[in-house]
Amino acid sequence: MITTVLAFLLTIGVLIVIHEFGHYRVAVACNVKVLRFSVGFGRTLWSRRFGRDQTEFVVSALPLGGYVRMLDEREGAVDLHERERAFNNRPLWQRAAIVAAGPTANLLLAVLLYAAAHWIGVQEPRAVLSAPVVGSVAERAGLRSGDWVRSWSSDGGQWNDVRSLTDLRWQVTQAAIRGESLQLMVSGRDGRGSRALTLDLAGVDARDVDAALMKRIGLGVPFSEPVLGEVKAGGPAAAAGLRSGDRVLRVDGADIADAQLLRDRIRAAVRGDAAVSMNWVIDRAGQTLTLPVTPRVMPGATSGAPAFGRVDAFVGQPAEMVLVRHGALDGIVQGAERTWSMSALTVKMLGRMLIGEASIRNLSGPLTIADYAGQSVQQGLSYYLAFLALVSVSLGVLNLLPLPMLDGGHLMYYLFEGVTGRPVPDRWLDRLQRGGIAVLLVMMSVALFNDVARLLGLH
């Protein structure tokens, strides 16, 4: 819990400081006097003055935002000798640059964070697949248990190496959102027998971009041998005589190619509220044995969810991992490409949510950010940097939306001023501000509801 809170505060703090520093630095470069640089809102916890203008740097009690207050005649009287340095008296292009600098700083930060994560390297599962979901796109495409996806291509273009299962899922997700097919070059686990196949993703429901999307496509967990790990004493597996190291060959006459298939058979061995006994054929140190196994019946995770079976044994072995790392220049290039791809994906998903083609359940709020921040910190520095980059992209894109109260809304005002030669009338500014506040409150409420629903297992 403490790790999650600290990781969340660090995440929000870094992103706010970088965002506001973007505004601050460009304002100073444009000779605008900055009165205050605040991280957070509410009661002041710490305050110091620095620089030739004695700008007040403040840390406040509520760390969910920040602001840069500049000299401005619309907010108070300005001495005659400083009127030229007031924000409202600067040329239009300078005002636009100052406003755009915050989101731009977040996007540039994302490039550097992604690059740093690539330089450090991340341990990710090799793109060796377990058996695809029956009847899924992956099964119809011809994917089989143990297939190693080596490269991908879109629209018959050049082939690109698949560095890991994470890389493959990213490419599949983008193709599913676009409603396009994706060509895959696969081989056996030993690298032999290459063949090309096509994932037809045009009809996939991509309204929710989550873990369930991969299941709908048919790409499950990485391949794992159907070998038992730790067997819990007193559980169904122990009662059946199973031991750690047993390799499961068949269940009720059906071959078991990987651990995921075995897990699925165990979970499905329930009829109503009663367990169904299974006949397992196992290999134990070269000896073939047949054992009856009756799982424990477990209630569904949520109300109305079906019951499932469990044998109280760890099924499968750890997935084969690969270190994904890039060189100095390639890391920057990959960081820029990932930032661009995530920005485009974010805009596309927001647009699809607006017209009803994507679920609003994709919106996340502070609780989800805190949860993921804590998880990524525990996984390692490179994972946390990649997560921080993702949130930085989201913050940058969100602030560029053409909504009043956001930087994008102010840029729209300046566009109007540039086209018409006059600023937006005050009465319209007031109406737009009220509307913008209402839209932001709705978005925040939906995001918070989604957070709570995820924590309660309702999504």
Question: Which of the residues are catalytic?
Answer: 20
- For CA atoms 321, 322, 328, 333, give the dihedral sign: negative
* Separation between Cα atoms, residue 57 and residue 47, nearest integer Å: 6
Which residue(s) pair with 322 in the sheet? 124
Which letter does DSSP use for residue 187 in this model?
E
Distance CA 338, CA 177 (A): 16
**208 C-beta neighbours (distance < 10 Å), count:** 15
Give the integer Cα–Cα distance in Å for 154 and 226. 33
Tokens of residue 234, six digits: 């007193």
256: nearest Cα among 283, 220, 295: 283
Q: Are 293 and 282 in contact (CB under 8 A)?
A: no
Name the percent of the chain in helix, strand, coil, to the closest 5.
45, 20, 30
Beta strands 122-125 and 55-70, pairing class: unpaired
Tokens for 334, please give them.
């990959």
For residue 287, list its beta bridge partners. 284
Q: For residues 407 and 99, what is the distance between their CA atoms, to the nearest angstrom?
A: 6
Q: Mutual orientation of helices 92-120 and 381-399 as an angle, nearest 10°?
A: 160
Classify strands 321-324 and 228-231 as parallel, antiparallel or unpaired.
Answer: unpaired
Q: For residues 405 and 437, is the Cβ–Cβ distance under 8 A? A: yes
User: What tokens were used for 315?
Assistant: 């099924």
Closest CA to 148 of 216, 200, 199, 222: 222
Query: Which H or E run includes 291?
Result: strand 287-293
**Cα maximum dimension of the chain:** 95
What angle, 0 to 180 degrees and rounded to 10, lies between the N-to-C axes of helices 92-120 and 407-420? 140
